[in-house]
Amino acid sequence: MPRRRVSYYYDPDVGSYSYGLGHPMKPLRMRITHELLTAYDMLDKMDVLRAERSTPETMTSFHTDEYIHFLARVTPDTAEELTYNGTRFLVGDDNPAFEGVFEFCSISAGGTIAAAKRITSGAADISINWAGGLHHAKKREASGFCYINDIVLGILELLRTYPRVLYIDIDCHHGDGVEEAFYTTDRVMTCSFHKFGEYFPGTGTQEDRGRGKGMGYAINVPLKDGLNDDSFRSIYEPVVARAVEVFQPSVIVLQCGADSLAGDKLGCFNVTMQGHAHCVHFVRDMNIPFILLGGGGYTVKNTSRTWVYETACALGIENDIDLNLPWNEFFDWFGPRYRLEVAENNMEDTNLKDGSLDRVREAALQQLSELQ
Ligand code: ZLM
Ligand code: CA
Ligand code: ZN
């Protein structure tokens, strides 16, 4: 198979933003990922690009004018007044009005939109934006650490050129914002794998399948605690293979949220780095252009490890890289083993109890077969 042309979007400022003391979302993970990619000499194997920041006008191709007008102006000092005491736009502690929030969003969204344009122009077969993947943002409101839905904006860009886009979401949380945006169209198939049951955002049952023309084009794969590599692979492979077969997408967008990894601070699965990266391999081997995006990932060192390894997968060099980490500015973070690995733990895979994994797989495949 010929080497794929990979474009990687990175803005050197992205790691400087902070959601605030103690907040689990840490933009620094993109900088650590970049430092590791540099130490591994991967930057000269791809086009390293800095995207133009997204403008408010571009953001309104999905979000309301009113919400964008607000987000472009809000500061920590004016938040209370502009959100009507936290009743509109930004609700709760999940989505603080941190210093530079709009710039951070314009970097994240600008990267995903540029990544999409890079594919439609034919300049890349794979494009990557680890600062993207913020799947919960709604048309008129922030949700779950996500203010601007870069994914929806990127897919809208792809739809200008391609008839059909397949969206796959392996973040531990349901990809609700993307699902909702395309719920009534048959041009975007959304497919989210997520923990379901007493877990944010609470949506994503297998009964939610789309509406109108979009009926059947929203796939939900609800999972339980302790999901391991074998279980994940046993459901991801057939569902994604069948989705590609019946939907025949022109392009795939893969949200690689790293909170599905073992040991994540907010996640509850038991997937290793290799198990997570297998999702990237599997898509790569379909020979369809694709975009890799970030998302969740709250045990920072594991998130960076995995996105580095997945960048290597995109480049097709994953078997050549030394799993002993090269020296880098953040080397100390990676002790005591200093390796490119995320190991499993001894959690029980509750998806294997009373056949729930098999039932969920069958229902997803049944839904897909009804589309033909
Ligand atoms: N409280 N600080 C995933 C988005 C998950 C909603 C329960 C907020 C937290 C969490 C924030 C420092 C993606 C909920 C939580 C406390 C209502 C969630 C600030 C700790 C802290 O210490 C914290 C003051 C904060 C937030 C924990 N929030 C854990 N889980 C979820 C949102 C986003 O990975 O899918 C994509 C990027 N929110 O459970 C509450 C119901 C707010
Ligand atoms: Ca998901
Ligand atoms: Zn998540």
Could you read off the pLDDT of 166-184 as tens digits, one per residue? 999 999 999 999 999 999 9
- Catalytic residue chosen out of the listed positions 34, 63, 135, 136: 136
Q: What does the mean pLDDT of the chain come to?
A: 98
Q: Examine the pLDDT at 98 and tell me if it is beyond 80.
A: yes
DSSP 8-state symbol, 237: H
Per-residue pLDDT at 240 exceeds 90: yes
Domain assignments of the chain as residue spans, ordered by start: 6-369
Neighbour tally for 250: CB within 10 Å: 18
Known active-site residue 276:
no
pLDDT at 230: 98
For the Cβ of 264 lying below 6 angstroms from any atom of ligand 1, the answer is no
pLDDT of residue 372: 86
Q: Give the pLDDT mean for 193-206.
A: 98
Please compute the mean of the pLDDT values over residues 322-343 and round it to a whole number. Answer: 98
| pLDDT surpassing 80 at residue 132 | yes
Residue from 91, 138, 200, 256 to probe ligand 1 pocket by mutation (most atoms less than 8 Å from CB)? 200
CATH superfamily, domain at 6-369: Histone deacetylase domain (3.40.800.20)
pLDDT the model gives residue 364: 99
Kindly state if the Cβ of 177 falls inside 6 Å of ligand 1: no
pLDDT band of 2, cuts 50, 70, 90:
confident
d(CA 341, CA 327): 16
Confidence of residue 223 (pLDDT cuts 50, 70, 90): very high
Percent of the chain exceeding pLDDT 90 equals 99
Q: What pLDDT score was predicted for residue 337? A: 98
Look at residue 3 in the predicted model and tell me its pLDDT.
84
pLDDT of residue 60: 99
Contacts 24+ apart (CB under 8 A), 282-287: 282/236, 282/237, 282/240, 282/241, 283/168, 283/240, 283/252, 283/254, 284/4, 284/126, 284/313, 284/314, 284/316, 285/1, 286/244, 286/252, 287/1
Q: Which residues are placed with Cβ below 5 angstroms of ligand 2, an ion?
A: 169, 171, 175, 192, 194
Model confidence at 328: pLDDT above 80: yes
